[in-house]
């Protein structure tokens, strides 16, 4: 038997807060219905007999190809820094990625 999933607007608000996005009341209602529908569809998968089926990570059968990180010497640091859009005190300046930082 399929259990009906109903996501409330409060659930949607919580997910939006975690994702740090603002959504309107209309969007909360819409996403509540859409996500409930998705969860109900996924719940149907619990009815499928998977005995004897080996778990997989993904259906494509691909494997990761990783390249080692190798540090190399910069032959001309001044040229590299000069080519960057923003630099300061012989360093490349980038936007802050942590809250409260400056550029």
CATH code of the domain made up of 9-47: 1.10.20
Strand partners, 92: 87
Q: How far apart are CA 32 and CA 83, in angstroms?
A: 48
Would you tell me how many other CB atoms lie within 10 Å of the CB of residue 5? 14
Q: How far apart are CA 42 and CA 7, in angstroms?
A: 14
pLDDT value for 12: 95
Split the chain (103 residues) into runs of 10 and give each run's mean pLDDT: 77 95 95 92 87 80 80 84 88 82 54
Q: How far apart are CA 88 and CA 103, in angstroms?
A: 11
Q: How far apart are CA 35 and CA 6, in angstroms?
A: 8
pLDDT value for 68: 87
Extents of the domains making up the chain? 9-47
Q: How far apart are CA 41 and CA 5, in angstroms?
A: 9
């Amino acid at each position: 038997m399929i259990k009906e999933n109903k996501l409330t607007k409060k659930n949607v608000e919580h997910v939006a807060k975690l994702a740090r996005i603002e959504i309107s009341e209309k969007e909360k209602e819409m996403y509540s219905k859409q996500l409930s529908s998705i969860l109900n569809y996924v719940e149907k998968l619990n009815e499928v007999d998977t005995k004897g089926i080996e778990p997989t990570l993904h259906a494509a059968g691909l494997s990761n190809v990783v390249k080692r990180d190798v540090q190399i010497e910069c032959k001309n640091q001044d040229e590299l820094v000069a080519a960057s859009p923003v630099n300061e005190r012989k360093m490349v300046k980038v936007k802050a990625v942590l809250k409260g930082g400056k550029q």
